[in-house]
Structure 1
Amino acid sequence: MVSAAKMHTFEEVANHNKIKDCWLIISGKVYDVTPFMDEHPGGGEVLLSATAKDATNDFEDIGHSEDARDMLEKYYVGEIDSTTVPGKRTYIPPQQTPFNPNANAKASESLIKILQFLVPLLILGLAVTFRQYTKSE
């Protein structure tokens, strides 16, 4: 007797977005690729970047081999309920570090100290070089 495939919602699959718990949606199927994270030729970060979305295009764009496609079957955990998959993925920009004027002031002070040390050395080096070229034999 063949059992029906387990149906997963997008929200459920999207929650599996960590190195130790990574699920992907590819061609309407859900795969738990957690055991493959360390073995993936592109690294686990590539798999993580394909979470919380339909990763079909990501998978197809790479041009995976038939062996890779066959390998997916051992990670199969069910089907995705297509009615729960958002049409467009909302872009969430990375958090920006707040502007810290004190950090810029400290960087400027460090640069000034470095220049105060290097400029005299540069002048001394130019003077020595100039003296050697202008020396008469």
Structure 2
Amino acid sequence: MSVKTFTLTDLTDYSTRDKLYLAIHGKVYDCTSFIDEHPGGEEVLLDEAARDASESFEDVGHSEEARAMLDDLYVGDLKTDGTEKTSAKPVSSTVPKPISHSSQQESGRLVSWVKSFF
């Protein structure tokens, strides 16, 4: 059986609540059936539609259980030709600005809240 290949442009056809595919680490997943179950809410998934969601997926810190769930949702591979934009941020040679203490606390609370669902 051959593996179906998608481009980010192809994924625009699968970017609604009724048909949602996400690209994560070079693979494409049909997340339609998971929209109502996603602990972060449907908007989180819909915001990542039609682009490479790898960075956002990793930023949340998904559990091994969440990662294993992807196997059942796999529908194909992501093909990029280098001209399409992904959600990856460009690498900067400058030193990042320090995060304020209150921002660190806020970020930590958000990560803890999200991890409590996984």
What TM-score do the two structures reach when normalised by structure 2?
0.68
Is the CA contact 2:6–2:78 (under 8 Å) kept in the aligned structure 1?
yes
Q: CA deviation at 1:87?
A: 3.2
Q: CA deviation at 1:4?
A: 2.9
Aligned mates of 1:40, 1:61 — CA distance in 2? 16
What TM-score do the two structures reach when normalised by structure 1?
0.59
The equivalent of 1:33 in structure 2 is 31
Q: CA deviation at 1:88?
A: 5.2
Is the CA contact 1:17–1:51 (under 8 Å) kept in the aligned structure 2?
yes
Matched residues, percent identical?
A: 44
| Matched positions, count | 87
The equivalent of 1:23 in structure 2 is 21
Report the AA paired with residue 16 of structure 2.
K
Is 1:86 the equivalent of 2:84? yes
Question: When you count helix as a share of all residues, which structure comes out higher?
Answer: 1
Instruction: Please tell me the root mean square deviation across aligned C-alpha atoms, in Å.
Output: 1.6
Aligned mates of 2:29, 2:50 — CA distance in 1? 12
The equivalent of 2:11 in structure 1 is 13
Unaligned runs of 5+ in 2: 88-118
Q: CA deviation at 1:14?
A: 2.1
Which of 59, 66, 69 in structure 2 is aligned with 1:68? 66
Is the CA contact 2:21–2:49 (under 8 Å) kept in the aligned structure 1?
yes
Q: Would you identify which runs of 4 or more consecutive aligned residues in structure 1 move more than 2 Å?
A: none
- Larger of the two Rg values belongs to structure: 1
Unaligned runs of 5+ in 1: 90-137
Is the CA contact 1:9–1:84 (under 8 Å) kept in the aligned structure 2?
no
